[in-house]
Amino acid sequence: MNPLKSKKGFAGGIMGLAGAGLALVILIFIITIGADLTSTIEEQQTSGSIAENVSTKGLEALDLFGDWFDIIILIVIAVLIIGLLLAFRLRSGGM
């Protein structure tokens, strides 16, 4: 039994890869909207208040996560490409 084959067959394995790509797109939207909302909230706070300090820290955290986004996207794309190559190789009986 080949451990790389999905119980659902070839189509099930490809759908799992589509889910990973969709999760990446959703993550990008969430980070973008979160940064925009946090920035708007920070602008409306009184300078030096606790609320302004918290929203500033939130923006710094989102900025730090955004710095890693290039690497995260490259890894996800590499996983998708490797998964597609393995799926087509299994389909053609290459393994």
Q: What is the pTM of this model?
A: 0.59
* d(C-alpha 54, C-alpha 27), whole Å: 22
State the pLDDT at residue 11: 52
Measured CA distances, 47 to 5, 53, 58 (Å): 58, 8, 16
Task: Report, in this order, helix, strand and coil percent for the chain, each rounded to 5.
Answer: 80, 0, 20
Q: How many CB atoms neighbour CB 6 within 10 A? A: 14
53-94 tens-digit pLDDT: 888 898 898 888 888 888 988 988 888 888 888 877 777 765
State the pLDDT at residue 85: 85
Mean pLDDT score of the chain: 79
3-33 tens-digit pLDDT: 455 555 555 566 667 777 788 889 888 888 9
Residue 92 DSSP label: T
